């Protein structure tokens, strides 16, 4: 039916700018909600890297609504997230975000669509860029249109080599109830056990971006000497949900050095099941 086709006219249409004032309290709340061990992050002096999603949260879905028919929005899942960091977010920043849908492609049993977001200061200084891939379940478009997120993958042969670093972390039983308010994400599958089960999950599941926040501070601690300023890229594909109470294990492999930036591939498991795949981290040398 024509009303179930994606709207190519919505591609490239920027959202209205969204303004966000960064406070030390909000930075500290997010760090605590993601179990970040960095004292500076817990004090609100710097951000946990994935806090970058918070100022852009209002911008996240608007571009998708311009492309995806409203009666398909209930099938949308967050498939991938790729952050490109120019600098960390600081208390006192006033950030302006805008986004646009860039394209889509048939993928398996559904369609993957890309949204690009840029976050800058009021003065126009770029702070970060984000490529967000949404997956629309059980709806396949006939062909690819526009541009997708930059590719990032994990070479399976790496798993048979010695990892550069391994991080073990515990997801608390109350993690979602702390993360939801800190991130401004009220999705009920993370907060209401009955609704989560009705949606086909075994119960409440952790926010995907909370899991990414865990892997980001693991990367900063293990690869960047605890300095979030050195983290330049953090990209993931969400493969399976993480449950409160689980232990997650993230394994990093050094893959390349170009100039002053070293790239690592990583993946994360929970109880032996891959929950994050195609992970990429880029770390700059110390100044």
Note the pLDDT tens digit of each residue in 187-227: 899 999 999 999 889 999 999 999 999 999 999 999 999 99
Residue-wise pLDDT for 166-193, tens only, equals 999 999 999 999 999 999 998 899 999 9
* Strands of the chain, DSSP E: 18-21, 76-85, 94-107, 110-121, 126-137, 145-146, 165-170, 231-238, 247-258, 261-270, 273-284
Residue-wise pLDDT for 265-280, tens only, equals 999 999 999 999 999 9
Q: Exposed, middle or buried: residue 123 (CB in 10 Å: 0-12, 13-18, 19+)?
A: exposed
**pLDDT grade for 70, boundaries at 50, 70 and 90:** confident
CATH T-level topology, domain 1-149: Thiol Ester Dehydrase; Chain A (3.10.129)
Higher pLDDT, 11 or 72: 11
Tokens describing residue 11 = 């591609």
The most distant pair of C-alpha atoms in the chain lies apart, rounded to whole Å, by: 57
pLDDT of 248 reads 98
pLDDT at residue 11 is higher than 70: yes
Share of the chain above pLDDT 70, in %: 99
**pLDDT grade for 42, boundaries at 50, 70 and 90:** very high
pLDDT at residue 230 is higher than 80: yes
How many other CB atoms are found less than 10 A from the CB of residue 229? 14
What are the two backbone dihedrals, phi and then psi, of residue 46, each rounded to the nearest 5 degrees? -135, 170
How far, in whole angstroms, is CA 248 from its chain's centroid?
A: 17
Least confident of 70-79, 97-106, 144-153, 218-227: 70-79
**What is the chain's alpha carbon radius of gyration, rounded to the nearest angstrom?**
18
- Is there a contact between 233 and 259 (Cβ–Cβ < 8 Å)? no
**pLDDT grade for 287, boundaries at 50, 70 and 90:** low
pLDDT of 199 reads 84
Q: Residues with Cβ < 8 Å from 206, sequence gap 6 or more?
A: 171, 175, 176, 179, 190, 241, 242, 243, 244
**pLDDT grade for 148, boundaries at 50, 70 and 90:** very high
**pLDDT grade for 76, boundaries at 50, 70 and 90:** confident
List, by residue range, all CATH 3.10.129.10 domains of the chain: 1-149, 151-287
CATH T-level topology, domain 151-287: Thiol Ester Dehydrase; Chain A (3.10.129)
* pTM confidence score: 0.95
Q: Exposed, middle or buried: residue 127 (CB in 10 Å: 0-12, 13-18, 19+)?
A: buried
**pLDDT grade for 2, boundaries at 50, 70 and 90:** very low
pLDDT of 1 reads 41
First to last CA, the chain: 57
Distance CA 20, CA 52 (A): 11
Residue written as tokens 């994050």?
276
**pLDDT (average), residues 21-48:** 97
Mean pLDDT of the chain: 95
Distance CA 32, CA 26 (A): 10
Distance CA 9, CA 199 (A): 31
Tally of residues, the chain? 287
How far, in whole angstroms, is CA 30 from its chain's centroid?
A: 14
**pLDDT grade for 75, boundaries at 50, 70 and 90:** confident
What are the two backbone dihedrals, phi and then psi, of residue 109, each rounded to the nearest 5 degrees? -90, 10
Tokens describing residue 50 = 């994935």
Share of the chain above pLDDT 90, in %: 90
Nearest to 229 by CA among 29, 85, 122, 103: 85
**pLDDT (average), residues 13-26:** 97
């Amino acid at each position: 039916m024509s009303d179930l086709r994606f709207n190519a006219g919505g591609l490239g249409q920027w959202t209205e700018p969204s303004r966000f004032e960064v406070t030390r309290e909000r930075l500290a709340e997010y760090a605590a909600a993601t179990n970040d061990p960095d004292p500076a992050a817990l004090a609100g002096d710097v951000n946990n890297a994935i806090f970058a999603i918070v100022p852009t949260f209002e911008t996240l879905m608007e571009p998708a609504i311009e492309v995806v028919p409203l009666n398909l929005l209930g099938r949308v899942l967050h498939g991938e997230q790729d952050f490109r960091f120019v600098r960390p977010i600081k208390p006192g920043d006033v950030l302006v975000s805008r986004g646009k849908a860039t394209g889509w492609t048939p993928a398996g049993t559904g369609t993957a669509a890309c949204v690009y977001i840029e976050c800058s200061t009021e003065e126009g200084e770029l702070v970060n860029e984000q490529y967000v891939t949404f997956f629309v379940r059980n709806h396949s478009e006939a062909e690819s249109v526009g541009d997708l997120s930059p590719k990032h993958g994990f070479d399976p042969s790496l798993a048979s080599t010695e990892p550069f670093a391994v991080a073990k972390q515990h997801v608390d039983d109350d993690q979602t109830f702390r993360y939801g308010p800190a991130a401004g994400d009220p999705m009920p599958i993370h907060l209401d056990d009955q609704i989560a089960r009705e949606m086909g999950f075994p119960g409440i599941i952790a926010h995907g971006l909370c899991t990414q926040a865990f892997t980001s501070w693991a990367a900063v601690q293990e690869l960047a000497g605890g300095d979030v300023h050195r983290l330049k890229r953090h990209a993931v594909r969400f493969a399976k949900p993480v449950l409160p109470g689980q232990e997650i294990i993230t394994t990093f492999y050094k893959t390349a050095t170009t100039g002053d930036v070293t790239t690592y591939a990583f993946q994360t498991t929970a109880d032996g099941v891959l929950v994050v795949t195609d992970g990429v981290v880029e770390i700059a040398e110390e100044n």
